């Protein structure tokens, strides 16, 4: 073996290395990085999230298939499809707030500070403002309120609440004190959102002396939105 010309031997094996190199370059691989525990965890989380997504989509598919079956059944008779559409309309009207609803919830009676000399010289501190109302409504929504009304005026997504001197305007209608807010939802949760220490309404009663009296109710009736709302500028995206 010693008779081989070392240069030729080395050159031949260099060719081999070159071939390997070229084939490796051709593979066009990403950097090979060591797998850390953190990256494994991250991937696990991703996988979990994707699995959840898949489950959601599967249940969605099932629901749609059921709906499709319903429609296909309805196809055989006109009366059936009318029923389906009526059902759909009822559901949508309820979602939009055009239906009176009833259920368990709480009723809150709010009135201005009666002892006007108690707090300060500024009479503004003792009366209920639109901001107070909006904060309380928001607290209720956080606690899962499904339907809300103020003095029988339904509060919807596009409802405005505006201070107008001694009264508050809701949906363009003036309401005076005492305000009675009705909210349908889990009564305990709603109660906690209003009366727990540290909430906005708790602050109102303790600091500003505004009267807030919540009552749990087994059955509340919240009227439908009485106005007429139409979209003027907003259009569905095609």
Parallel, antiparallel or unpaired: strands 101-111 and 167-170? unpaired
Of 10 and 50, which CB lies nearer to other proteins in the complex structure? 10
Instruction: Work out how close the CB of 28 gets to other proteins at its nearest, in angstroms, rounded to a whole number.
Output: 9
User: DSSP letter at 35?
Assistant: P
- Rounded Cα distance, 180 and 121, in Å: 27
- For residues 14 and 92, which CB has a smaller minimum distance to other proteins in the complex? 14
Query: In angstroms, what is the minimal distance from the CB of 37 to other proteins?
Result: 11
**Closer to other proteins at the Cβ: 5 or 115?**
5
Q: How far is the CB of 42 from other proteins (least distance, A)?
A: 18
Rounded to a whole number of angstroms, the minimum distance from the CB of residue 33 to other proteins is 10
Q: Residue 20 or 43: which CB sits closer to other proteins?
A: 20
Helical H runs in 161-234?
187-195, 200-203
Minimum CB separation of residue 11 from other proteins in Å reads 4
Nearest Cα to Cα of residue 126 among 166, 154, 159: 166
Q: How far is the CB of 24 from other proteins (least distance, A)?
A: 6
Residues in contact with other proteins by CB under 8 A are 1-2, 4, 6-27, 29, 32, 34
- Report which of 67, 75, 23, 212 is spatially closest to residue 136, judged by C-alpha positions: 212
Q: How many residues does the chain have?
A: 238
Contacts of 100-103 with C-beta under 8 Å, sequence gap 24+, read: 100/221, 100/222, 100/223, 100/224, 101/146, 101/147, 101/184, 101/221, 101/222, 102/184, 102/219, 102/220, 102/221, 102/222, 103/146, 103/147, 103/184, 103/185, 103/219, 103/220
Nearer to other proteins, 21 or 82 (CB): 21
Whichever of 10 and 93 has its CB closer to other proteins, that residue is: 10
What DSSP element (H or E) covers 161? strand 161-164
Rounded to the nearest 10 degrees, the angle between the axes of helix 130-142 and helix 187-195 is 140
Place of tokens 């259920």: 103
Of 21 and 49, which CB lies nearer to other proteins in the complex structure? 21
């Amino acid at each position: 073996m010693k008779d081989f010309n070392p240069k030729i031997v080395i050159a031949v094996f260099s060719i081999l290395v070159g071939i390997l190199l070229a084939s490796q370059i051709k593979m066009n691989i990403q950097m090979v990085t060591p797998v850390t525990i953190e990256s494994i965890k991250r991937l696990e989380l991703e996988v979990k999230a994707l699995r959840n997504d898949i489950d959601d989509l599967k249940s969605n598919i099932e629901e749609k298939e059921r709906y499709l079956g319903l429609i296909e059944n309805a196809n055989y008779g006109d009366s059936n499809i009318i029923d389906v559409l009526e059902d759909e309309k009822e559901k949508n009207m309820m979602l939009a707030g055009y239906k009176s609803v009833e259920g368990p919830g709480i009723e809150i009676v709010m009135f201005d500070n009666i002892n006007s000399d108690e707090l300060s010289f500024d009479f503004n501190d003792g009366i209920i403002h639109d901001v107070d109302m909006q904060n309380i409504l928001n607290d209720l929504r956080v606690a899962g309120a499904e339907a809300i009304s103020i003095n029988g005026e339904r509060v919807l997504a596009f409802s405005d609440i505006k201070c107008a001197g001694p009264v508050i305007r809701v949906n363009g209608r003036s309401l005076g004190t005492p305000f009675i807010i009705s909210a349908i939802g889990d009564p305990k949760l709603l109660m906690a959102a209003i009366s727990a220490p540290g909430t906005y309404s708790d602050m109102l009663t303790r600091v500003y002396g505004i009267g807030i009296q919540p009552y749990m109710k087994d059955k509340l009736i919240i009227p439908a939105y009485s106005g007429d709302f139409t979209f003027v500028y907003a259009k569905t995206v095609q």
